[in-house]
Amino acid sequence: MDTNKTIYAYFQENIVYYAHSNCKDKQMILIDNQDIREARLNLALEEYAVRNLDLDDSHLLFYINDPAIIIGKHQNTTEEINAAYVKQNNIHVVRRISGGGAVYHDNGNLNFSFITHFSNDNFNNYEKFTRPVIEALNQLGVNAELEGRNDIVVAGRKISGNAQYRWKDQMLSHGTLLFDTNLENVVQALNVSAEKIISKGIKSIRSRVANIKEFLPRDMNIEEFRQILLEHIFAAQKDIPQRPFNEHDWDAIQTLAREKYHSWDWNYGRSPAFNLQRRKRFAIGTIDIKLDVMRGLIKNTKIYGDFFAQNDIRELEKQLIGTRYDFDALKMGLRNFPLDAYFGGSLDRDEFVRFVCGLDESNASAE
């Protein structure tokens, strides 16, 4: 089998179709990131692009980062990382704008981001965006499949994770491709809760992740792999149009990186004191809620987790403040609140309120 032709054909047939399905008859444009490998700058570039590009056309961004842990928007950073190992190995810790779980990046990990118009058909539809990758890998003899909400796995081992972010009428769908990453660093740098390990039926991180390179029929480096994908994502077009950023763009990107992605407040966040914590894994992901309850009223709250929120989770936190801490009051306070938009999937209101009130079997602690 001619593996190059196979992967060419499937990426041409499938990725081009899915990337353009929301903007028919419009071309794809490649964003030139100047081969930057600094995670904080690449994430600033990605955010700037989704908020500022003219999306008459869809855009594609490829980037590779130096060693970094990329934290999901709603996660508690200190609970996701091995702080001592991170400091010892000079690994950057950066929070991204999309939800989901923490991932490890290095020079063996290829990241992609499709930036296009928002539609209800696309948002949270990971099957749609991962299908072309899965089919290409299948044709190469790699038995890849979608598992759970957003992972591509081979024989139960994860090779790709994906997340999405919405900004007004625009969105991005981005993902990782573990090509030849240092898996020992993945194991050492990330903390994974026992409940997540149990829920996924695995014994360790090491048993759950793998590199794509292990399964390819011939040897290639990540630059060659990237070039194969790039050339054939654009195979339906006469050339590969690029979108270079001008001096004004780069000034804005650098400012965003400096003021947001380099900041402790964004990457770690100041967590106020709480006297009650509850944590539970739902079908939509883990929810970790911290509550400050005084004289029977919720005075402060913070919600963490690896869920995918379409709306800003701070709106839900604000909604809870001032509410009596009991089932009926919380249920009434949330009666018109669209929980699905804050957790990226179907979440029953009664089930959520029982969880908050400790009326189920969730883990809880009080101070």
* CATH code, 294: 3.30.390.50
CB atoms within 10 A of CB 292: 17
Helix (H) or strand (E) holding 11: none
Residue type, 316: L
* Claim to verify: residue 206 and residue 329 sit in the same structural domain: no
Which pair of tokens denotes residue 32? 């030139």
pLDDT for 226 = 84
pTM of the model: 0.74
Residues 6+ apart with CB under 8 A from 5: none
Q: pLDDT band at 351, cuts 50/70/90?
A: very high
* Claim to verify: residue 342 and residue 209 sit in the same structural domain: no
Dist. CA 365–CA 278, nearest whole Å: 7
pLDDT for 17 = 45
User: Which of 247, 267, 287 finishes a domain?
Assistant: 267
Which pair of tokens denotes residue 51? 């908020």
Answer whether residue 139 shows pLDDT above 60.
yes
* Claim to verify: residue 205 and residue 321 sit in the same structural domain: no
Phi-psi label, residue 100: left if phi above 0, alpha if psi -120 to 50, beta otherwise: left
End-to-end CA distance of the chain: 63
- Note the pLDDT tens digit of each residue in 12-46: 444 444 444 444 446 889 999 999 999 999 999 99
- Note the pLDDT tens digit of each residue in 170-201: 999 999 999 999 999 998 998 765 555 444 54
Dist. CA 130–CA 214, nearest whole Å: 20
User: Which of 267, 287, 322 finishes a domain?
Assistant: 267
Residues 6+ apart with CB under 8 A from 304: 74, 75, 76, 79, 287, 288, 289, 290
Structurally, the chain folds into a number of domains equal to: 2
